[in-house]
Amino acid sequence: MNKEEDILLKEGKMLPVMEHFYTIQGEGAHTGKAAYFIRLGGCDVGCHWCDVKESWDPTLHPLMNAEEIAETAAKHCKIVVLTGGEPLMWNLDILTSKLKELGCTIHIETSGAYPLSGQIDWITLSPKKTGLPKEEIYAKAHELKMIVFNNNDFKFAEEQAAKVSENCRLYLQSEWSKRDEMYPKITDFILANPRWQASVQTHKYLNIP
């Protein structure tokens, strides 16, 4: 990356885009809705079970003009999901401002490990032990999505749920490779703690992105 590109990246005029695609949201509160996903490269949270580890190094992904990618997304759908990687590593002001100008509702999927930027309508907070959320994001989260990999994650989920607002929706979602083991436990946990809901990666069952 040259000096000019670095400046444009910091300003949010350019962003490292791993992929962008039109599909159906597969997880959480908006499961089943058509949405345009913009997956930004770059993440230093380092979850060992991450299913998009190729997103971690931002230098592997092309820098794209933020306003142009917004225009592409808006042509397909007015619900746009910013994901990663960790999208809050980057300045999202220009991207989200353009999406808003084009009439879009903007969702973000984040670990919360970086400060919020941009205009966001729906925040899916998915905390990770390796990089805990900034305190200010808990009150703003619309849904808390906790990934369950082992039994210790239920305790972590409860600890994180204690920090979000009472209006935040609470989801437990098994890590994909552990689904046969963990969903029976998730079911039992939800029956004992009915404020929680189950989230399933339906897009993997539908064989879509």
Tens of pLDDT, residue by residue over 102-124, are 999 999 999 999 999 999 999 99
Give the count of beta carbons closer than 10 Å to the beta carbon of residue 80. 26
Give CA–CA dist 116/89, Å, rounded.
9
Domain boundaries, the chain: 3-206
- Which residues lie closer than 8 Å to 75 by C-beta, 6 or more apart? none
Helix axes 66-76, 93-101, angle to 10 degrees: 40
Residues tagged in the binding site annotation: 24-26, 39, 43, 47, 49-51, 83, 85, 126-128, 209
Give per-residue pLDDT as tens, 126-148. 999 989 999 999 999 999 999 99
- Which residues lie closer than 8 Å to 129 by C-beta, 6 or more apart? 156
Give CA–CA dist 97/83, Å, rounded.
17
Residues tagged in the binding site annotation for [4Fe-4S] cluster: 43, 47, 50
Cβ(123)–Cβ(137) below 8 Å = yes
| H-assigned helices in 77-167 | 93-101, 135-138, 152-161
Identify the band that residue 1 occupies on the pLDDT scale cut at 50, 70 and 90. Answer: low
Residues tagged in the binding site annotation for S-adenosyl-L-methionine: 49-51, 85, 126-128
Residues tagged in the binding site annotation for substrate: 24-26, 39, 83, 209
Specify the DSSP element, H or E, that contains 112.
none
Identify the band that residue 152 occupies on the pLDDT scale cut at 50, 70 and 90. Answer: very high
Backbone φ and ψ for 8, nearest 5 degrees, come out as -65, -35
Q: What is the pTM of this model?
A: 0.94
Give CA–CA dist 75/71, Å, rounded.
6
Q: Which residues pair with 38 in a beta bridge?
A: 20, 82
The stretch 93-110 carries a mean pLDDT of 98
Give CA–CA dist 85/83, Å, rounded.
6
Cβ(140)–Cβ(163) below 8 Å = no
Strands 34-40 and 79-83: parallel
Give CA–CA dist 100/6, Å, rounded.
25
* Residue 51 in this model has a pLDDT that exceeds 80: no
The stretch 59-82 carries a mean pLDDT of 96
Specify the DSSP element, H or E, that contains 4.
helix 3-11
Give CA–CA dist 31/13, Å, rounded.
30
The stretch 35-50 carries a mean pLDDT of 86
